[in-house]
A = this chain, B = another copy of it.
């Protein structure tokens, strides 16, 4: 398929501006030839205008029709076959197996939301029946369900060119809820974006979705993002990326005349606490497990374990040696883009120039934009003193924090900022001896992992991928799993509504057969 470099504005292509970006192949160091033209002011207005018009149809669309649309997007993405895989590999430097896996995840997410829609109970229907003769005042009939919020802007992520980008989890959940989506293409993978965007448009046409249900805009620099987030026609925003980027969008959205939510997932250091019992049982095993997680995908996962916390003690040296050995044997890996690579080098250089930090291991160097792995060590005392050390280093890096006592360990946990995940490595003795520390860990993150690694975010009903600030802007919501749809919906209550004006989900006799809360009791009747 020809890559045009144009923005996709509903069912039209557009690209009248002169400014453009080009993608870069991090593996070869070559600029890719295609030019992607920044959307003009008029094109941005047109995309938002079309989205608003499309919303007037989308908001009444039966869930089954939206389900078909999502499934068709999945099929159209698979139809892109090797062309998509090759392009995504070239634009991200990620290996083919990873991209194929990510494509599977992306299509799987679309199917998951389609199933959620076909089942239908996600709208959380609640009905209180009337009591007309209640004294002193009659009780009205009240029926509430979730409805879509309006046009959603999705920022694509550098580290997931498919699963958290154009047709990724944010787009899938926003569309599933009944909202039009406007994607801001990532400057690192605009070609991948164009291929997937066109697949979405083909699916929209096949499924009878209104023009404007989906748009995808190219931009140069920050101005497109700013315009989208501050536009009065936009109702909600999803973002996965750096703290700096996410917080800037959040601040813009809060300063609007009508503030809107920005669901920004801004990364995390995902502390792993290794308790003394398990350390004595299995220090080598732990070390190789952690080394694998630290270096997976060149450490470019938001759940990368950037902090390892342990207590001083006889088995720590063995663990540290084993970790050091595993890390020293790792090869360098190509990073996603130049900015990320340079940022990694700068951060590591800055940290390793500190007197309070010791390098305990470094992997091999070499290769285009290729990062070496590294683990450093600091005392609990110095870690507590220097909040700078708490910051995420995006890449295959981890900091071992060695505490001199249980109370210092508790202190370290108390000083941590909000995290996506926190992990406890424990055996049965640790459960008994460290109950207080294990309980304290509940306050740190959105997900608590036991004897596993934080990388790997299961897409399912129970996943919660959203930690307290600054891991995300709103830890009450998840960006992975079925509950992600709740970000883009609001409750609407109908009081004493005539039957014919009620959405099907709220009608007498429960025509959709969904679970509803009827006078406080869950029922499918």
Question: Which A residues fall within an 8 A CB radius of B?
Answer: 59-60, 101, 119, 121, 126-128, 136-137, 139-140, 142-144, 147, 250-251, 254, 258-259, 261, 418, 426, 431, 438-439, 442-443, 446-452, 456, 458, 460-464, 466, 468-470, 473-476, 478, 482-483, 489-498, 500-501, 515, 517, 519-520, 522
Contacts and interface: CB of A to CB of B under 8 A. Distances in A.
Nearest to A473: B259
Residue from the set A250, A418, A489, A517 with the largest chain B CB neighbour count within 10 Å: A517
Given A126-B483, A438-B501, A446-B491, 13 more contacts: A128-B460, A137-B456, A139-B460, A142-B460, A250-B259, A251-B254, A446-B492, A447-B493, A449-B495, A450-B501, A461-B519, A476-B491, A478-B491
Given A456-B137, A462-B144, A470-B258, A492 B448 contact: yes
A469 B261 CA distance: 11
Contact of A128 (B251, B461, B469): B461
A258 B416 CA distance: 13
A505 to B, nearest CB: 13
Given A259-B473, A473-B259, A464 B450 contact: no
Nearest to A516: B462
Contacts of A137: 456
A496 B449 contact: yes
Contacts of A474: 261
A494 B449 CA distance: 6
B447 A495 contact: yes
Contact of A458 (B139, B258, B515): B139
Given A137-B456, A469-B258, A142 B462 contact: yes
10 closest A-B pairs by beta carbon, nearest first, are A464-B493, A142-B462, A447-B493, A126-B462, A128-B462, A449-B495, A254-B254, A464-B491, A128-B460, A144-B462
Contacts of A482: 520
A387 B447 CA distance: 46
A464 to B, nearest CB: 4
27 contacts: A59-B442, A60-B439, A101-B136, A121-B522, A140-B456, A144-B464, A254-B259, A259-B473, A431-B498, A431-B500, A446-B491, A446-B492, A448-B492, A448-B494, A449-B496, A450-B498, A450-B501, A461-B520, A463-B493, A464-B491, A464-B493, A468-B490, A476-B489, A476-B490, A476-B491, A483-B491, A515-B522
Greatest chain B CB density within 10 A among A147, A456, A492 is at A492
Contacts of A498: 426, 431, 450
Nearest to A130: B458
Contacts of A515: 522
A116 to B, nearest CB: 9
Contacts of A101: 136
B464 A492 contact: yes
A431 B474 CA distance: 40
A476 B438 CA distance: 33
A139 B121 CA distance: 24
